[in-house]
């Protein structure tokens, strides 16, 4: 006999069976998940002290701090933007963008730029509203303010430049892209008189005055049987050491580019989704299992690997 539900309602038994099946599936996934390695006790080798602290009410995006002219600029989810004295942490000014934010703040020391979740670029002048304009797409990368311009990198890889004083759109670079793009902060940074921007798996050098491409370097060769597996957008922030700019290509590679010559220094096939960290000696990155590896910054030679943080879902490395 077929089970029929009351008029306007779904049969109860099939729904309960479906819920039971989902619970069993999730429980099985939890049992199959690898257990993180036990953390070792750490004995501090360097004595440090907290100089100051400033509390923001929630930061759901990568905390992009902009440090210029003795000031630290920061932003929070709720639209709060602050400028702090780098020596004391004292708030120099505090302002509101008027809406929740989708990315961190960029500043040249005077102007601060943020983007709201409603795709609106908001610019403050010493904490006071200067101008705002609607963007054509979603932004997850902190704007860059330099050379009296505000540069914005969209999730669709479109790069736009605006006059920092009056908000005039100066140019837009929109290149044919792949069907999928990464919903994660990308690469946007200055190098001398050049603007560097991630364009898929490529690092592109742009003329900041005109938006034309000066050169571009492929950091990784996307591979896979479908568009998801071939997704290899550059993940921000990048690390700059002299003329070298080191980056991660999503789930594909880590690499360093000589930005002075527009040439690839080296690239290593390494899975992973988070940005890299580096100093003058080594470049460090975590793979998809949170295995840490370090390579010679200049040559790409493997220096060491560590499995002490396996499966701990590392959010980033500093």
Lowest model confidence (mean pLDDT) among 8-22, 86-100, 182-196, 296-310: 8-22
pLDDT at 41: 84
Which string of b and e fits 200-219 if b means at least 16 CB within 10 Å?
Answer: bbbbbbbebeebeeeebbbb
Residue 23 — pLDDT band, cuts 50, 70, 90? low
pLDDT in tens, 150-171: 999 999 999 999 999 999 999 9
pLDDT of residue 140: 96
- pLDDT recorded at residue 14: 52
Q: Over 90: is that where the pLDDT of 40 sits?
A: no
The pLDDT assigned to 226 comes to: 86
> Which band of pLDDT confidence, cut at 50, 70 and 90, is reported for residue 182?
confident
Q: Which of 84-88, 125-129, 181-185 has the lowest mean pLDDT?
A: 181-185
Write down the pLDDT at residue 65: 83
Both tokens assigned to 219 = 């950091």
Q: In this model, does residue 316 exceed pLDDT 50?
A: yes
Q: Please give the share of the chain, as a percent, with pLDDT higher than 70.
A: 89
Average pLDDT over residues 55-77: 88
Q: What is the average pLDDT score of the chain?
A: 88
Range with the poorest average pLDDT among 16-25, 36-45, 126-135, 189-198? 16-25
Average confidence (pLDDT) over 282-306: 94
Please report which confidence band the pLDDT of residue 224 belongs to, taking 50, 70 and 90 as the band edges.
confident
Q: How far is CA 238 from CA 13, 134, 142, 241, 269, in A?
A: 53, 27, 13, 10, 17
Residue 13 exposed, middle or buried by CB count within 10 Å (0-12, 13-18, 19+): exposed
Residue 240 pLDDT grade (very low, low, confident, very high; cuts 50, 70, 90): very high
Does 181 or 210 have the greater pLDDT score?
A: 210
Residues 223-248, mean pLDDT to the nearest whole number: 91
Averaged pLDDT, 109-127: 97
- Per-residue pLDDT averaged across 104-126, rounded? 97
**pLDDT-based confidence at residue 19 (cuts at 50, 70, 90):** low
Cα separation values, 261 from 10, 73, 265, 284, Å: 66, 32, 10, 23
């Amino acid at each position: 006999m077929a089970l029929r539900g009351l008029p306007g309602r779904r049969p109860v038994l099939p729904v309960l069976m479906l819920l039971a099946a989902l619970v069993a599936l999730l429980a099985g996934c939890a049992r199959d998940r690898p257990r993180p390695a036990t953390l070792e006790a750490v004995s501090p080798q360097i004595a440090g002290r907290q100089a100051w602290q400033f509390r923001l009410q929630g930061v759901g995006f990568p905390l992009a701090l902009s440090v210029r002219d003795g000031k630290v600029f920061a932003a929070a989810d709720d639209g709060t933007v602050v400028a702090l004295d780098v020596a004391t942490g004292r708030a120099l000014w505090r302002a509101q963008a008027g809406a929740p934010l989708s990315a961190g703040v960029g500043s040249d020391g005077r102007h601060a730029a943020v983007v709201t979740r409603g795709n609106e670029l908001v610019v403050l002048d010493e904490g006071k509203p200067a101008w705002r304009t609607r963007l054509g797409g979603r932004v997850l990368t902190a704007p860059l303010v330099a050379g009296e311009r505000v540069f914005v990198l969209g999730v669709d890889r479109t790069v736009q430049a605006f006059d920092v004083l009056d908000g005039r759109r100066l140019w837009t670079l929109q290149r044919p892209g792949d069907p999928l793009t990464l919903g994660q902060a990308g690469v946007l940074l200055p190098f001398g008189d050049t603007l560097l921007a991630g364009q898929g798996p490529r690092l592109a050098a742009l003329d900041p005055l005109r938006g034309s491409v000066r050169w571009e370097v492929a950091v990784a060769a996307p591979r896979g049987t479908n568009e998801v597996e071939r997704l290899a957008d550059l993940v921000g922030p990048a690390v700059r050491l002299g003329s070298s700019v080191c980056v991660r290509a999503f789930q594909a590679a880590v690499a360093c580019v000589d930005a002075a010559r527009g040439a690839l220094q080296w690239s290593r096939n390494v899975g992973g989704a988070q940005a890299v960290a580096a100093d003058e000696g080594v470049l460090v990155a975590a793979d998809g299992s949170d295995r840490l590896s370090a390579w010679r910054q200049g040559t790409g030679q493997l220096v060491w690997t560590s499995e002490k943080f396996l499966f701990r879902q590392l959010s980033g490395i500093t």
